[in-house]
Amino acid sequence: MKYPQLDFTAKEKLLQQSIENDPDLDTAYNDLAWLYAQEGTHLTEALELIDKALSYDPESAAYLDTKGEVLYRLGRFEEAIAIAEELVERDPEKDYFRQQLQKFREGVLLEQSI
């Protein structure tokens, strides 16, 4: 079975095993952090994981995007927005980064309306 077809638990286990087998595999830290962010679970751990990935490659747009997503899920909207703004500035043609920025800004508006 291919990775995209696995359920959450199987993906989590596979990524944890990858980290255990190769503690320097920065992509596994990023992927596990992203998985947790998408599921809205283990968000504090997700932040630690993505910070570990960024310690290997602090300029990675993918890793910074993951960190923005985790911060957004934690309700830390201003930090998420700052990361997304940096990514949009770096690559203004990339629609995905602009969409993330818009989503993060909408999170602030939703929070303010509650």
pLDDT band at residue 107 using 50, 70 and 90 as cut-offs: confident
- Residue 23 burial (10 A CB sphere; 0-12, 13-18, 19+): exposed
DSSP 35-71: HHHHHT-SHHHHHHHHHHHHHH-TT-HHHHHHHHHHH
Categorize the per-residue pLDDT at 4 as very low, low, confident or very high, splitting at 50, 70 and 90: confident
Mean pLDDT over residues 25-34, rounded?
98
Instruction: Compute the average pLDDT of residues 89-102.
Output: 96
Give tens-digit pLDDT for 35-66.
Answer: 999 999 999 999 999 999 999 999 999 999 99
- State the pLDDT at residue 108: 73
What residue ranges define each of the domains in the chain, with the CATH number in brackets? 3-113 (1.25.40.10)
Classify residue 60 as exposed, middle or buried by CB count within 10 Å of its CB (0-12, 13-18, 19+). middle
